């Protein structure tokens, strides 16, 4: 069968051009969205009196047949089909003849691909939100289990202050919460129907774009036909939000990698999420965490690829835009799998509290508590900071912990100092005292967990 656009041409495409031009082997993934859009379109055309009820019925019946055949793998696409839109329409015309030729009335592949990808993005955002919801629930569960178990808090990868494991995990809950909010906002901006924009200028045929929006579940229609067919912001936004989300995944994955090392031994990752060595029989490698850390590169790359494709493209539609799909599909597949792997790995990872406690005696984690206590007894903070710095230096030189300093030691550091000026310097005392809103005190961590549970129960998408 000749190409559906071949009337203007005297000869067919060169073989190498045909291969280079075709997108059917990757955009066939859009077949359900394409058929959904076509069913809505022909329904609207019938309601507007542009096609008959019988024609509508035959077209919808055959489109549903094609959908089931594709789903069962009974239709084999070829390079001659060019893209999924032409492929389905070509099959329809082959089966229905002139009736099938009426489907493409008052639409172009330009608005057809826009409606397909918007429908696809909307569906996949829901799927991404589902796996993020699962991850958030795992984080809440683990945070609650370890809400009062103390670990080292780091800045610059240096021991900083004691925090609880639950507090640390709830920081990731907040990251992924923002990701969910961004995906919901992206969905909202994607939820506009471009169908009926045609090639770039609309149509003289009396269509009803609001009706197709209603049939396809869009909240509204796009405002400008030229923008509608040339817009890929919704794909770029999904990739951008996906890149931020993947960055968060990589941060947690990195912590899993070093927490799992012998130097830390903070966690025990389930065997099902590790691999061994082909030469060293003792090895248990955190390969899933490393892969999660590494896959962020391909999602960043996909975003940069499409930003580059869209750069300086004039209005309206350009063939360059065909290059949006492979990166879109790869971003969605990689992100969904990464979120799911992270959630399942975390679910089956336990913190080795007794090992973590061995790390709490290094790095003077309680130094800030002394400075803050000095403030409470009217020593200006900068002066307090300097005094505690001297105490730390003295302790290092004399191989002591801050809580081991005697009155004699303190007098050597500064004549004003004595033991009575020091607060409870136990790790429990340091953590329990941080009751400021958002702090690491177990009571405050539990509040954060409870608030997180309320949010995840109420979220609508």
- Which residues are identified as catalytic? 156, 277
Q: Which residue, among 428, 430, 415, 318, has the nearest Cα to 367 in the 3D structure?
A: 430
CA distances 415 to 40, 382, 392, 404, Å, are: 85, 18, 16, 18
- According to DSSP, the residues that pair with 158 across neighbouring strands are 155
Considering Cα of 400, then 401, then 402, then 404, what sign does the dihedral take?
Answer: negative
98 contacts 89 by C-beta, under 8 angstroms: no
**Which residue reads 């795992």 in tokens?**
138
205 contacts 115 by C-beta, under 8 angstroms: no
Q: What distance lies between CA 438 and its chain's CA centroid?
A: 25
Residue 264 CA to residue 47 CA, distance in Å, equals 68
336 contacts 383 by C-beta, under 8 angstroms: no
The DSSP code sequence of 137-178 is HHHHHHHHHTTT-EEEEEETTEEEEEEEHHHHHHHHHHHHHH
- Strand segments (E) across 186-254: 192-193, 220-221
Residue 436 CA to residue 444 CA, distance in Å, equals 8
**Which residue reads 């992270």 in tokens?**
342
Neighbouring CB atoms inside 10 A of 264's CB total 16
Residue 195 CA to residue 221 CA, distance in Å, equals 8
Question: What token pair was written down for 386?
Answer: 């300097």
Residues 6+ apart with CB under 8 A from 16: none
């Amino acid at each position: 069968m000749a190409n559906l656009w071949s009337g203007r041409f005297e000869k067919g495409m060169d073989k190498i051009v045909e291969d280079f031009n075709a997108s059917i082997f990757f955009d066939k993934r859009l077949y359900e969205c394409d058929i959904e859009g076509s069913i809505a379109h022909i329904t609207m055309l019938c309601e507007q009196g542009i096609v008959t009820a019988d024609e509508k019925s035959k077209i919808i019946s055959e489109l549903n047949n094609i959908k089931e055949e594709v789903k069962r793998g009974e239709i084999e696409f070829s390079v001659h089909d060019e893209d999924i839109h032409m492929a389905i329409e070509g099959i329809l015309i082959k089966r229905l003849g002139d009736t099938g030729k009426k489907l493409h009335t008052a639409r172009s592949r330009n608005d057809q691909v826009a409606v397909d990808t918007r429908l696809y993005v909307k569906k996949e955002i829901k799927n991404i939100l589902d796996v993020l919801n699962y991850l958030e629930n795992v984080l809440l569960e683990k945070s609650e289990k370890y809400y009062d178990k103390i670990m080292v808090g780091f800045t610059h990868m240096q021991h900083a202050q004691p925090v609880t494991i639950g507090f640390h995990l709830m920081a990731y809950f907040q990251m992924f919460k923002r990701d969910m909010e961004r995906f919901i906002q992206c969905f909202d901006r994607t939820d506009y129907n471009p169908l009926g924009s045609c090639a770039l200028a609309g149509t003289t045929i009396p269509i009803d774009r609001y009706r197709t929006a209603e049939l396809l579940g869009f909240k509204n229609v796009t405002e400008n036909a030229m923008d509608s067919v040339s817009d890929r912001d919704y794909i770029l936004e999904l990739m951008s939000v996906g890149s931020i989300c993947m960055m968060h995944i990589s941060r947690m994955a990195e912590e899993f990698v070093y927490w799992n090392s012998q130097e830390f031994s903070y966690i025990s990752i389930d065997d099902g999420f590790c691999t061994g060595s082909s030469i060293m029989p003792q090895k248990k490698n955190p390969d899933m965490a490393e892969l999660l850390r590494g896959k962020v590169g391909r999602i960043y790359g996909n975003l940069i690829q499409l930003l580059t494709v869209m750069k300086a493209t004039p209005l309206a539609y350009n063939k360059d835009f065909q290059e949006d799909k492979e990166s879109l599909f790869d971003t969605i597949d990689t992100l969904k799998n990464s979120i799911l792997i992270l959630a399942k790995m975390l679910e089956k990872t336990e913190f080795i509290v007794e090992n973590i406690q061995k790390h709490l005696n290094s790095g003077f984690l309680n130094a800030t508590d002394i400075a803050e206590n000095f403030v409470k007894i009217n020593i200006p903070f900068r002066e307090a900071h300097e005094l505690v710095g001297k105490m730390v230096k003295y302790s290092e030189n004399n191989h002591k912990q801050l809580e081991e300093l005697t009155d004699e030691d303190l007098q050597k550091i500064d004549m004003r100092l004595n033991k009575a000026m020091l607060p409870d310097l136990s790790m429990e005392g340091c953590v329990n005292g941080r009751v400021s809103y958002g702090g690491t005190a177990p009571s405050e961590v539990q509040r954060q967990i409870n608030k997180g549970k309320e949010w995840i129960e109420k979220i609508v998408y």
